[in-house]
Structures are given as structure tokens and as C-alpha cells.
């Protein structure tokens, strides 16, 4: 249970890595295990910005993006990864009706576009 991460496209060597409290800029698409899409910043055409590691998003995003648990390594800017997140790291036993069913495992394809206020050197 928790988070598994599969790298779809690695970020460049030496790329920035987010730290706890950084505001990250990402594109994501979330699906249920059956493939049903429930949310996508890609479809909206607008990247999503959020502080990471400070409980503003589901725990699975904090772990999948920052790493440090279950052998997961932090994402680098430019990386695209598939995060499979069990319900205990997502919306729990209750889910998030009517969008997320109870005890749902969620799959997110996440691309880390940037870290607000930080630039590559």
C-alpha cells in the first residue's frame, strides 16, 4: 500500500528537484484503475500549481513527487512519471463522491514542469 512510481520520461541530469514547501508547477491526468479519467490539467490546458510536502494535496502526490518513502526518488524538473496511489495515500475509505469511489486506487500521470521562483542555473 502507498505509492509506486514508474518513470515515463526522466528529467535531464542535474535538473532541479523540489523541496518540501516549494510551489511546484505540474501537468497531470488522474484516472481510476478501470481507466476512467476523473481530472486533467492537460485537458484544461493550464498547469496546476501547488505547495508540495505540506499536506495541501493527497499524500500520494507528496510522496511521489518529493520521494523519500518506499524507495521513491524525488522527481526532477522535466520528468514525467506514472504514480499509482492506493486509497490510504489518496482519499481513504470514503473516497471523494461522486468523483472518486470508496477505497479507490488512483493513477496519475504527472509531469513536473517547474518550481515557482526557482530557475535552472
Does residue 39 carry a catalytic annotation? yes
Q: Which of 38, 88, 96, 113 is catalytic?
A: 38
Query: Which domain does 79 fall in, by range?
Result: 3-115
Output the pTM of the full model. 0.94
Q: What is the CATH number of the domain that holds 31?
A: 3.10.50.40
Dihedral sign, CA of 96, 2, 112, 121? positive
Burial environment of residue 63 by CB neighbours within 10 A (0 to 12, 13 to 18, 19 or more): buried
Asked, for residue 121, whether it belongs to a domain, the answer is no
Q: Which of 91, 100, 107, 115 is catalytic?
A: 91
> What percent of the chain clears pLDDT 70, i.e. is strictly above it?
98
The predicted-structure confidence for 16-34, as pLDDT tens digits, reads as follows 999 999 999 999 999 999 9
Q: What is the mean pLDDT of residues 67-76?
A: 92
Asked, for residue 38, whether it belongs to a domain, the answer is yes
Amino acid at each position: 500500500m502507498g505509492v509506486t512510481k514508474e518513470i515515463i520520461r526522466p528529467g535531464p541530469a542535474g535538473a532541479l528537484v523540489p523541496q518540501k514547501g516549494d510551489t511546484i508547477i505540474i501537468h497531470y491526468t488522474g484516472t481510476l484503475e478501470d481507466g476512467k479519467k476523473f481530472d486533467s490539467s492537460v485537458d484544461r490546458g493550464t498547469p496546476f500549481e501547488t505547495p508540495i510536502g505540506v499536506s495541501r494535496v493527497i499524500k500520494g502526490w507528496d510522496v511521489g513527487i518529493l520521494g523519500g518513502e518506499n524507495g521513491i526518488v524525488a522527481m526532477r524538473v522535466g520528468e514525467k512519471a506514472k504514480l499509482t496511489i492506493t486509497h490510504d495515500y489518496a482519499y481513504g475509505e470514503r473516497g471523494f463522491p461522486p468523483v472518486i469511489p470508496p477505497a479507490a486506487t488512483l493513477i496519475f500521470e504527472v509531469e513536473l514542469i517547474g518550481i515557482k521562483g526557482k530557475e535552472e542555473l
